[in-house]
Every structure is written in structure tokens, then in C-alpha cells.
């Protein structure tokens, strides 16, 4: 395990650096917005107010809580401190609900939906691509055009199509929400079943998009590997094809894992839109409502959380890669 | 060059993609010339008119020439449009409850069914039904009244001065009007959206705008990527390290998030189509940079480059005349990809509501956004979103196809 | 030991054309002897090697002929039987550029395990390890190589590892396809020495050495066979073929090589003009006719068969030894 230390540290440092950068971005960008954000916020909060003193006090209170009366660096420190203590401020569109509360209720829906969906889509896509490369002929000729076609669909496109076919026309699945509107979350079977049913369409939209993209890549990699010298040599030595195929896919898989790490940002982005299409109560939908309601604290918090999630996922994938590719360990030991 | 063009246009994939793309482009350019309507004008007073030809009833009543045509199935068609299968089954059920033997009722023979119904039905016959059911049959009865009658309709007009109603016209069941002679007929090939706008006109304009946005975003992104990649790859050293560091940062942070943040920060009023395009371009150069850089690195040790260095050419000169031509093919492919992903990025932004201002121009993403917000998909108004989706898919599909074709021409190893 | 009679194999191209890469080849290798196969690129040497093993994978197909190993006829055997009984156990093949022949993500010992278990599934892991270690020691390879990944080994070491792995199942015949071409001179020498040791220690009984470097063969093999365009054009001992080639092609080959061997040092360098024929449409008659300086109209009419010459040699030409030799001496 010693060999991994260098690799691990390397990736950890990177995670830290990008996280800092993400914080900076989340902090700086909205503050570059022209105009006085506090005035805009106050205007919204004070919509019902007619008392000008009350408005002025609200304005000053927000100034203070944002620390806008302090220098930038202090503001940033305040921001970081707030984030780490879980204080993301109060939401405007769902006033007076704290942002952290909104986040904690929607983040689990997103994680439970996207995480399995992306992984399963990746697995199925790679398997199909590998099979297409190995079986050739008929299977390949069918899978290839379908994959090309599907991979060109925008993520939300697939979501809409699935919704229309299975939700509206065939009425097999519900078209919106995370669970039935008439249900209150608890651990009853009825609730859980409703959740599962509502889970299907968003889940499969993300999976299908992921499959389309992966299948093509894996197929190319597999074809490349299947023609490699070591395949021929293993055959010369009398090793069975099954075993050889095992080698090939393990080798072809490695660049695919790296590819996953690189593209996870995009996949999450697409999956968020899919959530929105289905009004699924995850981060995507929350973000949409936040934007529509001009809820600055909420938007800022959601984008930060999404970025951090992607960064952590990226880190995890790179760690897994380090464990799987034996050459990493070998390269470290000398 | 000529040989390359030759090869390119012989590549099946490229040609197909190119044709689709050109067809779309032609549509975008020529359609507005023939149909000069304002795409954002609300024509339909009401939401989501389905596609079809809309004939002005007022004008057809007042049409100068009325034609009398006798079609055998006219009556049946008229009845069928009012009486669904379910209605017929319900009528049969009622009649059976009334005591008519089932084999005497034939739901396929509409006129006999209706005759039976007219004879038998009476509001007063409760037949042990619930009140709701009785009301249902009353409504059913009302709607089928007169279906079998051969009478015509009378049109009355209210006289402003006297307040009297005067008969101005009668319309027989056999009266037809030639659509071409009706003063106002409007064909909505794709219906209208929730604002009452003609979708086809809107779609064509939106496609054009989206393409422009994609083009601008693509050009910006490719330009940045090319420059950074060239410098980073050729100069190397700490410049390379810095640029790669920045690039890696931008790789991991989801570009969607960046787009959202920047878009939001700009604020609603500043968000024109061009601004959005610039923003997209500024956030999506990462992949191109990496790709160009790796190409340049493999090129910079080639003999012709070394020769130029020995001859004392300036760095700029070398980059421009020795390296750039070799990566042109790559750059063109990158440009195509950037354009198509720029279009998708704009669509995603617009769906979130962070796209260009909604009052200026429609874009493909905006159309999707409106459709989603106004629940078109749930209400079954497919024409509000399906054509948009298909257009987006066609654009990206044709561009990717062209790209794959180009790839196979430039990299013979990929030809299958 | 190994007897091949009129072996013919072909490649079927995409457009359903047949390329007869190995055309009625016959050869014999005796126990304890080694045979070198020389010829330019594309003459069918590697294809011959693959065919000898019974290793037919599309687009390579067996057409006719016999391959008899130790009295057993393996031609026409079904692929699975070939895999189980022949590949690696009777005949072993060292591919060209053997350094790429190892799976980059697999340790050497794991690969050896797979090879052994493919033929002998009952052997325990530790037995396999001991066996591998002994073998490696015997062949002068350090034990630590077993635990390494290919990426950690140098080119020469990889080549020798591949050779060691190829013979690990104790095949009777070893076919080495250009084993030293991609290496530096020192490594080349080590590889050749290793191969010769293999023969000497009896680990393998016979060897077929394929190369385009004729002088190398003189130092390694007992007999030499020259191939051209899918056919054998000359057979004989190493000494005979290198110093006294009969067939015009062999003469051309030897003449085009700078060789410091005494006796050849003063020979003039000659190049053979032209290119080998397209095997999709092999020419009528002698395949070398287009490039031969002795060519006569008769050469292009009928297909030429092998002729015998003094000292148990054979060559494929319509002319007699004397006719050909006379011109040679005249420069």
C-alpha cells in the first residue's frame, strides 16, 4: 500500500485545490453582479412592507449578515466559516426556511437518483460496447447505429421522450414528483413503493443517455485491445478465449474509468436537467425554482454543493483507478 | 487540399450529415423570406392550438359561393365526431337497463341505435341509477340531440339600433364552402404554443438564433482553446504547467455550474443572445485546449520544426506556419463539436430559465422552457416540444455525423 | 520430428479473393536439429509458422497438405483440440516484437499461471511458482522478474521472458519469429544464446528460426530454407546455403548483405530489382521470373517444382546447378 501514498496524496491535494477554487468562484461571481445585491434582496423581502423605516432596517440587517460592510477578504472568511458550519443563509423564495434545510431534503433525492443511474448506465454501456466489439457481425451492426443515435440526444430530450411515451401515452409511470402527492413521507410500504415507481422514469432517462455515450467509446477501445499483440500471444500459448476476453476488457476498461472521471461533470449536468423535466424533488428542481424565484442564497448553495459532489466523485473515481491499474502501483514503488 | 475535399465529400457519413445540416440551414435562411411574420407575435388567442388548418367560421358563413355536396358518409362522420365508442357502449348499457333485449341493440349501426335511443330515452326514467349517472345520461342525450335530424342551422344577427334579431343566413347540412374562397384561412403546420404563437415560424427563427449562438460560442471556445493549446504545447515549461493547471481546474468543475453562476450573475437584463453565446464560449474551451496541446506536443519535435528553429524563425512564425497547418484538420473537427455543444449548452441554460431574454428572440432552449413550464408534455400538446427536440437532435446529430466522417478522412486508421 | 508435406494455406480477403500465402511447402526438421527460414518481408514466413502450429484464425484458412509431429498428423484438427493439445505443448511460437506480447496489466507469474492452468488445471499455485522459478533459473533469468509487470522490464529482458514462458510447457518444437530483430546488439546475443541453450539442454527438441538476416542463421541453425512469395526456393545446410547459394534469389539475398565472414568479404553488393509478386494473382510459372537475371521464356510457362542438387540440397529452378553456378562465378 505504500506505493499508493504518493498517488493518493497527489489526488488529495488536487481535490483540495479545486475545492478552494470552487469556493472562490461561488463567492466572487455573484458579487460581480452589477447593482446592489442587498437592495435587490431587500426589495423582494420588503415587498409587503410599506414602512420605510422597516425597509431600511431590513436593508441594514442584510448588509450586516452578508458582511458587505466589511472588506472582501473578511467577507470571504465569513463565507467559508458559514459554509463549514452548515449555515447557508435563509432562502428567499421559501422564506423563512433556511437554505441548509432545503438542501438537506433535496440532496438525498439527487444522490440516490444520479449516483446509481450514472454507474449503472456506465456499466451497461461498457458491457454493450464490449459485446459489440467481441461478437461483431449482427450484434454490432444493431448496437452501433442505436448508440450513435442515442448519444446525440441531449439529456433532457431523452427525459422528455421517456416521459411522453411511458408517462403520458401509456400511463405506466407517473410524470412528476418523487412520490405520490397524497403521501406523507414515512417508512410504510405504500410510500416506499410510490417512491420506487416515481423513480423509474428519471432513472432510466439518465441510464439510457449514459449507455449511449459509453457504448461507443468502449467498443472502440475493445476493438483496439482485441487486436493487440498479447491477445494473439495468449492464444498461441493455448489459453482459452474466455480468459483472454477477460484480460481484454479489464485493459479496455481502464481508459473508460478515466473517461468517467473526466466526464462526470457533464453527466451530472445532464442528469440535473432530467430531474427538472420530471419535477423530481432533487437539486435540479430546487435549482430551477431558485432561479425562477431569484433566490440568490439558494442558487449559490446549490451550485456549491453540486460542484463539491462532482469533485468528490472525481476523486473517488481516481482512487478506484489507482487501485485497479496495477501499473500505478508499480510506478510508485521505484 | 483539393484531394482532401474530394475525400471528404466521398465519405458517406460526412455527406449525410452535411445534407441534413444544409437542409436545416436552408430552411432557416429561406423560410423567413417567404413567411415574413414576426415569430414572437401571439396569433392564437388561447393556448396550444393543435396543428392543422384553421378556417375562419365567420367568413365561411358569409362566403359568396356555397356549394351543395351530397356525400354518403357525411352523416356518419358527423355523428362519429360527436359520439365516441364509449358513448355508444353507455347508450347500449342504458337501453339494456331499460329492458331492451341486448341482441336488438347494434352499436355498429348508428342510425338504428340513435332511433332506439330517441324512442326510449326519457329524463324521467331513473332506472335505479345514481343521480350522477342520470346527469351523465342527460348530458349525453343533449349532445346527441338533433344528430339525426336533417334540419339546417339558422344564423341570426342582432341589429344594433333596434335590438332585434334578424335572420341573415341558413346553413344546410349539405352546404360546403371552398377553402380557397374563404377570406381568412390560416395553416398552422405545427400548431401554436402556450402564448398563441405559430410554432413553425417560431421554430425556424429559434433554430437560426440557436445556430448563431452555437457558432459564436464555438468560435470563441475554439479560438481560446487553440491559442492556449498552441502556446501551452509549443512553449512548454512553466507556461505549460500554468495553463494545464487552469485547464484541469475547469475540467473538473462542471461547466454547467459555471454557466449557471455566470449567467445568473449577469442578470436578466444584460442577457442577450450574444452575451450568452460569449459566456458559453468562455466556459467550454477546456477540451479543445487539451486536444490541441497534445497534437502540438507530438508535432514540435518534428524535423521541419527543428529546421525552422535553426533557421532562426520567430516562435510566432513557427507556430503559425509550421504547426498550425498540421492541426487544422483537428481544429475544424473541434470547431464543429464546440458549435454543437454550444447549442446544447444554450438549450440547457434556457430550460433553467437562465438563457437569453425571453422578450427578444426565441431560441430552441427557450421554446423547450416554455413548453415545460406550461406543462405541454403533461397535457399532451406534443407539438409544443417534440418538433423542438427533433430539431435540436437533428442539428447535433448532423454535426456529429459530419465530424465522424471528417475524422475518418483525416485518420485512415479509423476507417472500417 | 516435424514433417510437412505440401502444406497450402490461404488468406481470404474482404472481397472474397484468396491469397495463397503458403503454397505447397514441404519441409522436415529432425530431432536435435534446427531449421532457419529466410526471406524478405511478406514472403510468407510468419504465415508458415502460424500454419505449422495449426493456428488458423480467420482470415487465415487451411487448404491442403499435412503436418506431422512425431508421427501424429495434426492438419485438419479442430481448433479446440489444437488449442488443448498442440499450442504451447507440442509447438510453441515466439512472435515478432515479443516485447509487446505480454499483457501490460498482468504480472509475469500470473500469466504463467494462466498458461499452465490452461493445460494442467490441477497444479497448485505454489507448484506453479516453484516450477516457474526453476525454469527461469535454468535459463538465466532472475526470480524477481516473475513478480514484475511488463512495464518494469527492459526490452531485452522482456524478450527473454517471453522465450522462457513459451517453452515452459516443454514443447517439442519452438518457432522463433524474428526474435532478435528489435533489440540492441548485446541483447541480441543474449537472446540467441538463450535459444541455443534451450536446444542444448534438451528443453526443446527442435527449433525453427525465422529471420530475414541470413548471416545470423549461419550462426544459429543447422539447415536453412529460403522462401519467396509463398514458396520454398532453396533448401540445404546453413554452410551450403550461405556460402554456395544455388537459386538466383538466394544468390541475390546473399549478395545484398554486408557480411564480415571470411570468404564473403570480397563479394560485390547487389540489389535485387523489382518487387515480389502480388499473391492474389500469382504469376504463371516461376514467381521470381520478373526479377531474375537468368530469366528465359520457359520460366514463365509452367509452375516449377523442386530439383535436387548435390549434397542433399533442393532448389526451385528449371536450370541446372552448373548453369547457375557458372554465371555466379562470372559475377
Nearest CA in chain B to A33: B265
pLDDT for residue B413: 55
Express each pLDDT in A226-263 by its tens digit.
Answer: 778 888 888 888 888 888 888 888 888 888 888 888 78
Among A214-223, B144-153, B198-207, top mean pLDDT goes to: B198-207
Confidence of residue B216 (pLDDT cuts 50, 70, 90): very high
Angle (deg, nearest 10), helices B386-410 and A137-151:
120
Looking at chain B from residue 264 to 293, which residues have their Cβ under 8 Å from any Cβ of chain A? 264-267, 270
User: Does residue C162 belong to the interface with chain A, where contact is any CB pair within 8 Å?
Assistant: yes
Phi, psi values for residue A322, rounded to 5°: -60, -35
- When CB atoms are compared, the residue of B254, B262, B377 closest to A306 is B254
pLDDT at A318 over 90: no
φ and ψ of C207, to 5 deg: -140, 145
Q: Which helix (H) or strand (E) segment is C9 a member of? A: strand C2-12
Residue of A nearest to B395 (CA): A152
Please state, as a whole number, how many other Cβ atoms lie within 10 Å of the Cβ of residue B139.
10
- Closest to B169 measured CA to CA, from B28, B80, B60: B60
A274 close contact with B: CB closer than 8 A = no
Residue B341 has pLDDT above 90, yes or no: no
Distance CA C271, CA C287 (A): 18
Which of C106, C118, C162 shows the shortest C-beta gap to A238? C118
Average pLDDT value for residue range A271-292:
81
Residue A68 has pLDDT above 70, yes or no: no
Which of the four pLDDT bands, split at 50, 70 and 90, describes residue A34?
low
Asked if residue A96 has a cis previous peptide bond (ω within 30° of 0), the answer is yes
Mark residue C111 as left, alpha or beta (left: phi above 0; alpha: psi -120 to 50; beta: remaining). alpha
Calculate the alpha carbon distances from B411 to A124, A152, B1, B333 in Å: 29, 22, 16, 12
**Looking at residue B414, what is its pLDDT?**
55
Rounded to whole angstroms, the Cα distance separating B135 from B138 reads: 5
Alpha helix (H) residue ranges in chain A: 2-31, 37-45, 52-66, 72-84, 99-135, 137-151, 155-162, 189-226, 229-236, 241-277, 283-292, 296-324, 326-333
Among A308-317, B55-64, B173-182, C252-261, name the one with the lowest average pLDDT. C252-261
- The C-alpha angle A159, A309, B250, rounded to 5 degrees, equals 90
pLDDT-derived band at B220, boundaries 50, 70, 90:
very high
When CB atoms are compared, the residue of A229, A243, A326 closest to C101 is A229
Q: Using the predicted structure, report yes or no on whether residue C269 has a pLDDT greater than 70.
A: no
**In this complex, do C148 and A250 lie within 8 Å of one another by their Cβ atoms?**
no
- Match 516450477 to its residue by C-alpha cell: C131
Q: What is the pLDDT of residues B72-129, one digit of tens each?
A: 777 777 777 777 777 778 888 888 887 778 777 777 777 777 777 778 777 777 777 7
Residue of C5, C13, C18, C17 whose CA lies nearest to C64:
C5
Q: How far apart are CA C191 and CA C155, in angstroms?
A: 11
| B51: CB partners within 8 A, 6+ apart | B188, B189, B190, B191, B199, B383
Query: Which three cell numbers, joined as nine digits, stand for B311?
Result: 533557421
Alpha-carbon span A232 to C87, nearest angstrom: 12
By the 8 A CB rule, do B287 and B226 touch?
A: no
Residues of B in contact with A299 (CB under 8 A): 260-261, 264
Segment C284-304, tens digit of pLDDT: 778 887 778 777 788 788 777
Residue in B254, B270, B378 nearest the CB of A268: B254
Distance CA C316, CA C307 (A): 6
CB contact under 8 A, A239 and C118: yes
Q: Give the distance from residue C200's alpha carbon to the nearest chain A alpha carbon, in angstroms.
A: 23
pLDDT at B415 (0 to 100): 55
Whole-number pLDDT of residue C331: 42
Q: Verify whether the Cβ–Cβ distance B253 to A25 is below 8 Å.
A: yes
With CB atoms and an 8 Å threshold, state whether C119 touches A240: no
Instruction: Give the other-Cβ count within 10 Å of C72's Cβ.
Output: 11
Is the model's pLDDT at A334 over the cut of 50? no
Name the residue among C165, C229, C210, C277 with its Cα closest to residue C49.
C210
Whole-number pLDDT of residue B382: 79
| Minimum CA–CA partner of C111 in chain A | A234
Nearest to B294 by CA among B222, B225, B223, B224: B225
The 10s digit of each residue's pLDDT in B136-162 is 888 877 777 766 667 777 888 888 888
| Touch of C by B (3+ CB pairs closer than 8 Å) | no
Is the pLDDT reported for residue B280 higher than 80? yes
Strands B175-176 and C91-94: unpaired
Establish if B392 touches chain A: CB-CB under 8 angstroms.
yes
**Which residues of chain C neighbour A254 with C-beta distances below 8 Å?**
105
Sorting pLDDT into bands at 50, 70 and 90, what band is C330? very low
| pLDDT tens column, A103-152 | 888 888 888 888 888 889 888 888 888 888 877 777 777 777 777 777 77
Catalogue the E-assigned strands of C54-102: 60-69, 72-73, 91-94
Q: How many residues does chain A have?
A: 334
SS3 C311: coil
Closest by Cβ to B264, choosing from A161, A168, A299: A299
Per-residue pLDDT of B379-407, as tens digits, reads 777 788 888 888 888 888 888 888 877 87
The rounded distance, in Å, linking the Cα atoms of C226 and B232 is 53
CA of B146 to nearest chain A CA: how many angstroms apart?
A: 34
Res B215: pLDDT: 92
The Cα A166–Cα B79 span in angstroms is 32
Contacting residues for B168 by C-beta, under 8 A, at least 6 apart: B155, B156, B157
Q: How far apart are CA B103 and CA B92, in angstroms?
A: 10
Give the relative orientation of helices B199-235 and B12-34 as an angle to the nearest 10 degrees.
130
- Beta-carbon neighbour count of residue C293 at 10 Å? 11
ipTM over 0.85: no
Is beta strand C34-38 parallel, antiparallel or unpaired with respect to C223-228? parallel
Q: How far apart are CA C126 and CA C120, in angstroms?
A: 14
In sequence order, the 6+-apart residues with CB closer than 8 A to the CB of B92 are: B102, B105, B107, B113
| pLDDT greater than 70 at residue B171 | yes
- Report the residue of chain A nearest B376, measured CA to CA: A164
CA pair distance C176, C96, nearest whole angstrom: 8
Closest CA to A79 of A24, A39, A37: A24
The answer on pLDDT for A90 being more than 80 is no
Q: Using an 8 Å Cβ cutoff, are C75 and C16 in contact? A: no
Angle value at C-alpha C210, between C205 and C213, nearest 5 degrees:
130
DSSP for C130-160, please give it. HHHHHHHHHTT--GGGGGS-GGGS-HHHHHH
Element (H, E) at B397: helix B386-410
C329 has a pLDDT exceeding 60: no
Domains and their CATH numbers in chain C: 2-100+168-275 (3.40.50.300)
Tell me, yes or no, if A13 comes closer than 8 A to chain B by beta carbon.
no
Tell me what the mean pLDDT of segment B189-193 comes to. 84
| Number of other CB atoms surrounding residue A101 within 10 Å | 13
Instruction: State the average pLDDT over residues C262-286.
Output: 70
Integer Cα distance of C112 and C132 in angstroms = 8
What's the first-to-final CA gap in chain A, in angstroms? Answer: 13
- In chain B, the residue whose alpha carbon lies closest to the alpha carbon of A268 is B254
Cβ(B352)–Cβ(A155) below 8 Å: no
Residue A4 to residue A323: CA distance in whole angstroms: 8
Cα(C274)–Cα(B329) distance, rounded to whole angstroms?
A: 37
* pLDDT (average), residues A296-310: 82
Q: Please write the tens of the pLDDT for every residue from C19-46.
A: 888 888 888 888 888 888 888 777 778 8
B39 contact partners, CB below 8 Å, separation of at least 6: B197, B198, B201, B202, B204, B205, B206, B361, B362
Cα distance between residue C13 and residue B350, in whole Å: 53
Q: What is the pLDDT of residues C50-84, one digit of tens each?
A: 888 777 776 777 788 888 887 778 777 777 777 77
**B219 pLDDT higher than 90:** yes
Query: Are the CB atoms for B88 and B113 separated by under 8 Å?
Result: yes
Q: Is C148 on the interface with A (CB under 8 A)?
A: yes
> Residue B171 to residues A300, B67, B76, B166: CA-CA distances in angstroms?
65, 11, 19, 15
Q: What is the pLDDT of residues C96-142, one digit of tens each?
A: 777 778 888 888 888 888 888 888 888 888 888 898 888 888 888 88
According to DSSP, residue A318 is labeled: H
Q: CB–CB of B348 and A25 under 8 A?
A: no
Amino acid at each position: 500500500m505504500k506505493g499508493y501514498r504518493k498517488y493518493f496524496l497527489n489526488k488529495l491535494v488536487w481535490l483540495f485545490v479545486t475545492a478552494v477554487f470552487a469556493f472562490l468562484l461561488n463567492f466572487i461571481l455573484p458579487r460581480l453582479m452589477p447593482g446592489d445585491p442587498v437592495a435587490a434582496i431587500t426589495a423582494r423581502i420588503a415587498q409587503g412592507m410599506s414602512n420605510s423605516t422597516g425597509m431600511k432596517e431590513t436593508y441594514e440587517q442584510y448588509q450586516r449578515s452578508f458582511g458587505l460592510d466589511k472588506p472582501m477578504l473578511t467577507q470571504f472568511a465569513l463565507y467559508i466559516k458559514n459554509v463549514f458550519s452548515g449555515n447557508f443563509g435563509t432562502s428567499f423564495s421559501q422564506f423563512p426556511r433556511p437554505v441548509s434545510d432545503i438542501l438537506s431534503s433535496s440532496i438525498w433525492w439527487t444522490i440516490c437518483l444520479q449516483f446509481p443511474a450514472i454507474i449503472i448506465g456506465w456499466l451497461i454501456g461498457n458491457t454493450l460496447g464490449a459485446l459489440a466489439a467481441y461478437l461483431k457481425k449482427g450484434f454490432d451492426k444493431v448496437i452501433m447505429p442505436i448508440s450513435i443515435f442515442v448519444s446525440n440526444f441531449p439529456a433532457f430530450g431523452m427525459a422528455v421522450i421517456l416521459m411522453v411515451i411511458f408517462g403520458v401515452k401509456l400511463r405506466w409511470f407517473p410524470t412528476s414528483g418523487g412520490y405520490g402527492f397524497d403521501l406523507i413521507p414515512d417508512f410504510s410500504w405504500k410510500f416506499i413503493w410510490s417512491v420506487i415507481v416515481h423513480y423509474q422514469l428519471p432513472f432510466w432517462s439518465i441510464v439510457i443517455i449514459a449507455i449511449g455515450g459509453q457504448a461507443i467509446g468502449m467498443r472502440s477501445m475493445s476493438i483496439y485491445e482485441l487486436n493487440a499483440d498479447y491477445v494473439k500471444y495468449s492464444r498461441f500459448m493455448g489459453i482459452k478465449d474466455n480468459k483472454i476476453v477477460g484480460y481484454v476488457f479489464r485493459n479496455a476498461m481502464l481508459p473508460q474509468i478515466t473517461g468517467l472521471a473526466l466526464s462526470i461533470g457533464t453527466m451530472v449536468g445532464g442528469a440535473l436537467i432530467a430531474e427538472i423535466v420530471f419535477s423530481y424533488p432533487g437539486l435540479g428542481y430546487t435549482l430551477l425554482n431558485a432561479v425562477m424565484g431569484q433566490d440568490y442564497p439558494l442558487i449559490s448553495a446549490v451550485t456549491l454543493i453540486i460542484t463539491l459532489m462532482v469533485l468528490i466523485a472525481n476523486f473517488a473515481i481516481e482512487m478506484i483507478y489507482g487501485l485497479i491499474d496495477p501499473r500505478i502501483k508499480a510506478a510508485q514503488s521505484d | 487540399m483539393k484531394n482532401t475535399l474530394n475525400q471528404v465529400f466521398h465519405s458517406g457519413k460526412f455527406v449525410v450529415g452535411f445534407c441534413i445540416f444544409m437542409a436545416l440551414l436552408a430552411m432557416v435562411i429561406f423560410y423567413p423570406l417567404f413567411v415574413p411574420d414576426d415569430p414572437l407575435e401571439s396569433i392564437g388567442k388561447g393556448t396550444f392550438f393543435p396543428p392543422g388548418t384553421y378556417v375562419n367560421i365567420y367568413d365561411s358563413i358569409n362566403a359568396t359561393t356555397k356549394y351543395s355536396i351530397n356525400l354518403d358518409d357525411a352523416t356518419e362522420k358527423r355523428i362519429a365526431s360527436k359520439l365516441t365508442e364509449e358513448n355508444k357502449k353507455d347508450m347500449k348499457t342504458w337501453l339494456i337497463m331499460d329492458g331492451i333485449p341486448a341482441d336488438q341493440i347494434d352499436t355498429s349501426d348508428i342510425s338504428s341505435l340513435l332511433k332506439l335511443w330517441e324512442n326510449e330515452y326519457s329524463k324521467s326514467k331513473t332506472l335505479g341509477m345514481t343521480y350522477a349517472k342520470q346527469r351523465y345520461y342527460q348530458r349525453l342525450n343533449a349532445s346527441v340531440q338533433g344528430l339525426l335530424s336533417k334540419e339546417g342551422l339558422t344564423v341570426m344577427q342582432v341589429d344594433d339600433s333596434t335590438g332585434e334579431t334578424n335572420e341573415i343566413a341558413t346553413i344546410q347540412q349539405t352546404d360546403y364552402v371552398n377553402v380557397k374562397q374563404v377570406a381568412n384561412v390560416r395553416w398552422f403546420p405545427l400548431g401554436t404554443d402556450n402564448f398563441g404563437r405559430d410554432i413553425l415560424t417560431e421554430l425556424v427563427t429559434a433554430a437560426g438564433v440557436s445556430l448563431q449562438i452555437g457558432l459564436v460560442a464555438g468560435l470563441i471556445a475554439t479560438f481560446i482553446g487553440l491559442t492556449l493549446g498552441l502556446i501551452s504545447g509549443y512553449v512548454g515549461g512553466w507556461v505549460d504547467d500554468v495553463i494545464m493547471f487552469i485547464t484541469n481546474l475547469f475540467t473538473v468543475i462542471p461547466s454547467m455550474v459555471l454557466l449557471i453562476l455566470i449567467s445568473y450573475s449577469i442578470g436578466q437584463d444584460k442577457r442577450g443572445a450574444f452575451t450568452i453565446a460569449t459566456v458559453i464560449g468562455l466556459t467550454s474551451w477546456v477540451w479543445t485546449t487539451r486536444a490541441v496541446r497534445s497534437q502540438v506536443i507530438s508535432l514540435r519535435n518534428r524535423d521541419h520544426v527543428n529546421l525552422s528553429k535553426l533557421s532562426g524563425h520567430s516562435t510566432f512564425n513557427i507556430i503559425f506556419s509550421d504547426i498550425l497547418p498540421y492541426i487544422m484538420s483537428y481544429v475544424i473537427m473541434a470547431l464543429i463539436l464546440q458549435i454543437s455543444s454550444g447549442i446544447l449548452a444554450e438549450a440547457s441554460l434556457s430550460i433553467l430559465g437562465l438563457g437569453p431574454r425571453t422578450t427578444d428572440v426565441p431560441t430552441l432552449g427557450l421554446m423547450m422552457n416554455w413548453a415545460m413550464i406550461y406543462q405541454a408534455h403533461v397535457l399532451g400538446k406534443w407539438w409544443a416540444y417534440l418538433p423542438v427536440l427533433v430539431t435540436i437532435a437533428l442539428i447535433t446529430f448532423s454535426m456529429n455525423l459530419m465530424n465522424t466522417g471528417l475524422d475518418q478522412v483525416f485518420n485512415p486508421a479509423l476507417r472500417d | 520430428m516435424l514433417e510437412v508435406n505440401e502444406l497450402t494455406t490461404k488468406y481470404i480477403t474482404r472481397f472474397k479473393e484468396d491469397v495463397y500465402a503458403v503454397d505447397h511447402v514441404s519441409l522436415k526438421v529432425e530431432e536435435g536439429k534446427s531449421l532457419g527460414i529466410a526471406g524478405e518481408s511478406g514472403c510468407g514466413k510468419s504465415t508458415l509458422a502460424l500454419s505449422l502450429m495449426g493456428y488458423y484464425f480467420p482470415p487465415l484458412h487451411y487448404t491442403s497438405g499435412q503436418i506431422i509431429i512425431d508421427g501424429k498428423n495434426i492438419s485438419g484438427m479442430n481448433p479446440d483440440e489444437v488449442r488443448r493439445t498442440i499450442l504451447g505443448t507440442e509447438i510453441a511460437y515466439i512472435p515478432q516484437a515479443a516485447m509487446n506480447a505480454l499483457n501490460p496489466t498482468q504480472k509475469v507469474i500470473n500469466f504463467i499461471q494462466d498458461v499452465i492452468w490452461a493445460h494442467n488445471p490441477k497444479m497448485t499455485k505454489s507448484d506453479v511458482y516453484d516450477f516457474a522459478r526453476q525454469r527461469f533459473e535454468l535459463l538465466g533469468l532472475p526470480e524477481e522478474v516473475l513478480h514484475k509487470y511488463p512495464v518494469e522490464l527492459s526490452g531485452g529482458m522482456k524478450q527473454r521472458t517471453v522465450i522462457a514462458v513459451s517453452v515452459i510447457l516443454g514443447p517439442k518444437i519452438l518457432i522463433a519469429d524474428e526474435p532478435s530483430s528489435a533489440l540492441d546488439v548485446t541483447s541480441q546475443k543474449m537472446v540467441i544464446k538463450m535459444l541455443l541453450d534451450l536446444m542444448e539442454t534438451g528443453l526443446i527438441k527442435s527449433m525453427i528460426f525465422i529471420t530475414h538476416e541470413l548471416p545470423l542463421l549461419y550462426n544459429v541453425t543447422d539447415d536453412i530454407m529460403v522462401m519467396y512469395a509463398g514458396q520454398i526456393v532453396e533448401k540445404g545446410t546453413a554452410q551450403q546455403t550461405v556460402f554456395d547459394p544455388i537459386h538466383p534469389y538466394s544468390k541475390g539475398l546473399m549478395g545484398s548483405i554486408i557480411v564480415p565472414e571470411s570468404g564473403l568479404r570480397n563479394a560485390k553488393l547487389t540489389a535485387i530489382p523489382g518487387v515480389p509478386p502480388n499473391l492474389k494473382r500469382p504469376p504463371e510459372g516461376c514467381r521470381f521470373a520478373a526479377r531474375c537475371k537468368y530469366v528465359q521464356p520457359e520460366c514463365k510457362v509452367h509452375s516449377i517444382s523442386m530439383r535436387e542438387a548435390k549434397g542433399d540440397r533442393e532448389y526451385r529452378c528449371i536450370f541446372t546447378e552448373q548453369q547457375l553456378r557458372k554465371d555466379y562465378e562470372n559475377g
